[in-house]
Structure 1
Amino acid sequence: MKRRNLILGALGLAGAGWLLRPADKGASHSEYFRSISGALSQSSRARPTLVIDRAAMRQNVRTLQGHLADRFAYRIVAKSLPSLPLLQEVMTLSGSQRLMLFNQPFINQVASAFPQADVLLGKPLPVAAAGNFYRTHQRTGGFDPQQQLHWLLDSPQRAQQYEALAAELGETLSVCIEIDVGLHRGGVSDDADMLAILDRIRRSPQLNFKGLMGYEPHVAKVPGYGALHGLAPMDAAVRKVRDSAMERYRHYLALARQSLGDDWPDNPVLNAGGSPTYQLYDSGEFPFNELSAGSCLVKPSDFDLPTLADHTSASYIAAPVLKAMDHTRLPIVDLGRLQSLWDPNRERAFFTDGGYWKARPVSPPGLSPNAIYGRSTNQEMLNGSASVNLAVDDWVFLRPTQSEFVFLQFGDIAVFEQGRIVERWPVFSVQA
């Protein structure tokens, strides 16, 4: 091949490669985020803040209620909504007093704030944590643990521990059994263990059987389901996994009924579901009588799932811009110009107050961390194109990937409604 042809071919490849460079994704805030920005500034907020859009959250509650209808009771997952005023809002809107909790400090706070609540543990706790609850519980508030608090057992050993604790405290404990319906993250997974737990409960004056809990988020995580939802074979595969989980649930339910006989409770707790799966039970007959959900009401980005397509995002992290630079500069070997030459979305650099949260930037569009510069919990660099019109003291918005841990990092939640910050909701204290 002639040298001239080689040169022309190389130039052609370079030109084709240039055409493949990233497009400019930058823009200014939408009217929606400009409205939240203005509300935050008018309320004198000047630090990273968790914002809840009250109207969007309320609509999500209505969406959930539309699916549950009168088929199942609703249990509110408190770890996903870790704020007493937020829980009160959801309890009022949904009409549910049933809560699911996951740690001892939160149980104490709920027992004090909501003496009418019915509390189911969402995971088995070390027996020492259960002991700490009783030692710190204020018994004058009206909350009756014997009737309203249901501890979770997952093995004969834990059942023995809780029985010993009850005897030590002189308490009677209401208990449910966690069953493994396919997630394989613990819970009873064979008949012998199930019968051993039930036998101990039946013989013990300290333990009262209340029901079962079978969590099955794996049903909505069939590989490829997110991309191929709507195709009959994929939807059929999800139903097959769901039905397999429900068969396991029915098996353990029948075993418990048979073992307990006349000791079977009048109003058992038969719990299942979660935000990713609750809509998979819109029709059909299933062995449980209540569904749990929490994250779908604020919808962090990990819950952008086919099963939650009719829920909307209702929570954001707002971070003030501390520094805004027209050009990205990197220390030691400054590759900033080279980066922006290839990718226009690396042109500008913005440093936010705080960062490195479990979250992704959503507004203004086109922002992203710089992998070469690195991440920071103190001042996070975000790159954007020249089309991003941000200045010092403006706000950047990120969407949390989850709520249960992230919501606890920012102090009081800012409640956005009709263009204003109308309330500030304290979050749970982990020191209770």
Structure 2
Amino acid sequence: MRRRTALMAIAGLAGAGALALRPRAHGAPHDAYFAHMAGALRAAGIATPTMVLDRDRMLANAGQVMRNLGGRMDLRLVAKSLPCLPLLDDLIAAMRTQRLMVFNLAYLEQLAAQRPALDLLLGKPLPVAAAAQFYDRFKNGGFDPARQLQWLVDSPQRLAQYRDLARQRQLQLRVNVEIDVGLHRGGVASAAALQQMLDIVKSEPRLQWSGMMGYDAHISKLPDLPGVRAGSLSNALGIYRDYAAQAARALHGGAAPAGLTLNAGGSPTYRLHDGKGAANEVAIGSALVKPGDFDTELLGDLAPAAFIATPVLKAPARFDMPNGVEWIGAAARAWDVNQSRAWFIYGGNWLADPVSPAGMAPSGLYGTSSNQQVLLGSGAQQLHVDDVIFLRPRQSESVLQQFGDIVVMESGRITQRWPVLTPMP
């Protein structure tokens, strides 16, 4: 009897422990912000998957970034993360910069033709054949490549190719040297390699050294262990300082000329730069609309400004798995009340996460769909057919371009539609 009693007690404790582990119900209807956005979309007659930009939030983010920089660093906007000309125009005006970073030939051509006042820096090294295509197709206008364009070069071999292009086409090329400050994604990684490149520049009158770029996004991703991030930042700053000094000595006798573009940082790390290092400008893009991957301590003073809105197409009374495995769905509902209701949305499988109503999540059992993705919840969301749900993109590049025109919300109303640039790698 004592043994039976003990076993029953153990079983009871195990049962109680299992019940304690059961997920608690969570979720809620749209809060005031998203309810208002849903109403604005309905008033505008929008009922298909749409990228919504809260312009008020974006401009507030722009103002906060400018206050954080405090005039200590110049700012360069990143076109691939903000792939929409009216959106870029808005930020160029608000942040008082003509500097853009561009990452592919198609955007380079469009910006040079349509925004001829810009100062353009390549954000990745392009094959020299792509550079040749640019000059083959470039039509003289207000944009002057010899003065307003910097090609990024990452090795002595690539720089030699650009030198040969300059000679063949009788071009004046400004070249910006990509340096490896710890990310290890390419770029100059030794003083010897840099010296080879400096010798090429020094011996070729058609080449002009315009500066350096050292991308350090890895620092914000490192484990938050004592000394790890600080050590990586110190190392990156030291590498940048040494390479910049080496170039200045080799090409200018020790004193770097005014007007060099010494680019560093990015949205994740721009706040780590205060103008006291060698770099004199930072590049920022995604932080201004703050997708989900940019929820970091360094960007805690910025607000999400871009959301995917899509309607509910179907709202069955409960979540059921397909015929033959219905018992799996029943077991999931019995265990987790947050899998009791299902909503099939218009589209889906985007690089995004549901944010409103709260407490919704994709089904790990049912699978994903780009046609009618299912989202699960407790029912507290109070969603019905034709109601709108919102997802937050994890990144801005490419995702902002998947829905046609960006729908712009200002002061709680839909006011504009902005065409996006055609997606390009």
1:134 aligned residue: 135
| RMSD over aligned Cα atoms | 1.7
Please tell me whether residue 321 in structure 1 is matched to residue 312 in structure 2: yes
**What is the alpha-carbon distance in structure 1 between the residues aligned to residue 310 and residue 284 of structure 2?**
28
Amino acid at match of 1:165: L
* In structure 2, C-alpha distance between the alignment counterparts of 1:426 and 1:162, rounded to whole Å: 34
Q: Contact 2:25 / 2:338 at 8 angstroms: preserved in 1?
A: yes
Q: Does the CA contact (< 8 Å) of 1:106 and 1:430 recur in 2? A: no
Query: 1:13 maps to what in 2?
Result: 14
Alpha-carbon contact 2:155-2:197 (below 8 Å) kept:
yes
What CA deviation, in whole Å up to 9, does each residue of 1:130-189 have, x standing for no partner?
A: 22222233322x011111110000001101111222233332211100011111110000
Q: Deviations over 1:109-142 (max 9, x none)?
A: 11122111001111111112222222233322x0
Q: Distance in 1 between matches of 2:345 and 2:127?
A: 39
Match of 2:50 in 1: 49
Partner of 1:154: 154
Q: What does residue 112 of structure 1 align with?
A: 113
Instruction: Give the equivalent residue in structure 2 for 1:187.
Output: 187
Matched position secondary structure for 1:11: helix
Aligned to 2:201: 201
Is residue 168 from structure 1 mapped to residue 168 from structure 2 by the alignment? Answer: yes
CA contact (8 A) 1:358 1:400 kept: yes
Q: For 1:22-66, what per-residue CA distance to the aligned partner results, in whole angstroms no more than 9, with x for missing partners?
A: 111121111111111111122222211111111111111011001
1:272 aligns with 2:273: no
Q: Identical aligned pairs, as a percentage? A: 46
1:299 maps to 2:290:
yes
The AA in structure 2 aligned to 1:376 is S
CA-CA distance at 1:105 after TM superposition: 0.7
2:58 aligned partner, one-letter code: M
- Note the 1:351-390 alignment, pairs <5 A: 351-390=344-383
> 2:85 touches 2:419 (CA, 8 Å); kept in 1?
yes
In structure 1, the residue matched to 2:331 is: 338
Give 1:407 shift. 0.9
Q: Secondary structure at the match of 1:188?
A: coil
- Secondary structure of the residue that 2:315 maps to in structure 1? strand
CA contact (8 A) 1:327 1:337 kept: no
Cross-structure match for 1:229: none
- 2:215 — aligned with what? 215
Q: Quick check: 2:401–2:423 contact (8 Å CA) kept in 1?
A: no
TM-score, scaled relative to structure 1: 0.94
Separation of aligned partners in 1, 2:20 and 2:245: 64
Q: Distance in 2 between matches of 1:138 and 1:2?
A: 92
Are the aligned partners of 1:98 and 1:118 in contact in 2 as well (CA < 8 Å)?
A: yes
Distance 1:134 1:36 in 2: 45
Partners in 1 of 2:300 and 2:357 — Cα distance? 23
Unmatched 5+ stretches in structure 1? 226-233
**Which residue of structure 1 aligns with residue 252 of structure 2?**
261
Counterpart of 2:342, as a letter, is A
Whether the 8 Å CA contact 1:272–1:290 is kept in 2: the answer is: yes
The answer (yes or no) to whether the contact 1:369–1:382 under 8 Å persists in 2 is yes
- Does the residue aligned with 1:325 lie in a helix, a strand or coil? coil
Query: Which residue pairs with 1:122 in the alignment?
Result: 123
CA distance in 2 between partners of 1:239 and 1:287 (Å): 17
Change (3 A) 1:205 1:430: farther
Paired residues, what number?
421
Alpha-carbon deviation of 1:206? Answer: 2.6
Aligned to 1:72: 73
Deviation per residue, 1:301-357 (Å, 9 max, x gap):
111111111111111111111111120011130122211111111011111111111
Once the two structures are superposed, the pairs formed by residues 411-426 of structure 1 within 5 Å of their partners are 411-426=404-419
